[in-house]
Structure 1
Amino acid sequence: SGMPIWGATPTQKGVARAMADRAKGVEAVINLGDNFYITGVMSDSDPRVNTTFKDVYKGTAVPWLIIAGNHDHLGNVSAQMSYTNKSKLWYFPALYYNKIYHKEDVSVEFVMLDTVELCGNNVDVQTGKLWDVIREL
């Protein structure tokens, strides 16, 4: 489901409580970008990481699959990827990656793509390698 724009608002905190209450059996939360609205973060220890993610979603042990959005590119996306090493809940290893979940006789593969990189809306685009990875999938 969609998430309210991050910012530690009362609405966001209410959604976080509801998620924690209903998380039984949930394998992951899929987060599709604009993680730190409006200008991203500058480091993996930026106070906004705590105020809009860690402190808000502390009631759940469900991991989040993260990808960057256009607003994240106004900050330091590498810092968001680096936060993967500091949190058991935050999983953002690269600008594009896949994750497979298995349950009983069903497998689901999530392919996470940074479309800002893909569409060329960033100043240091390297789309050739990204298209190669997509073709391999």
Structure 2
Amino acid sequence: MTRKRIALVAHDARKADLIAWIGANIRLLDGHLYWATGTTGQKVRSAHPQLEVTPLKSGPLGGDQQIGAMIAEGRIDLLVFFVDPMTAQPHDVDVKALTRLATLYNIPMACNEATADMVVSSPLFAGGYTPRAADFNGYETRQV
């Protein structure tokens, strides 16, 4: 098994859903490395102590940016971000930046349980799949 480096984020109204999803998929998730924003990380560690979870700052206090930086540095293989689409988030710009970086750097991102299920049940999750690396040469060499 190739150990994946997985970022876990959940809005307050979705934290219990993320914990339940992890429990339902613990066999597939055990043995990987995790980073999680503040309270989400604490709750995951408490509910699933067998997982190696490194807690970061709370999302509104910079945790989203910490994960974004890890994505930009190539240190995250999967973002699982259970989003609450029904509640306005005071740090919505941080959330958008995080999802933008996952898209830009071509890493899988699951924003709900159905997508997360599809990702972890795929044979690509257990295998050595490496997404095509993002190529920014055109952007970096553009004339300004």
Pair in the same fold by TM > 0.5: no
Instruction: Please identify which structure carries the higher helix content.
Output: 2
TM-score where L is the length of structure 1: 0.32
TM-score, normalised to structure 2's length?
Answer: 0.31
Bigger relative contact order (CA 8 A; separation at least 6)? 2
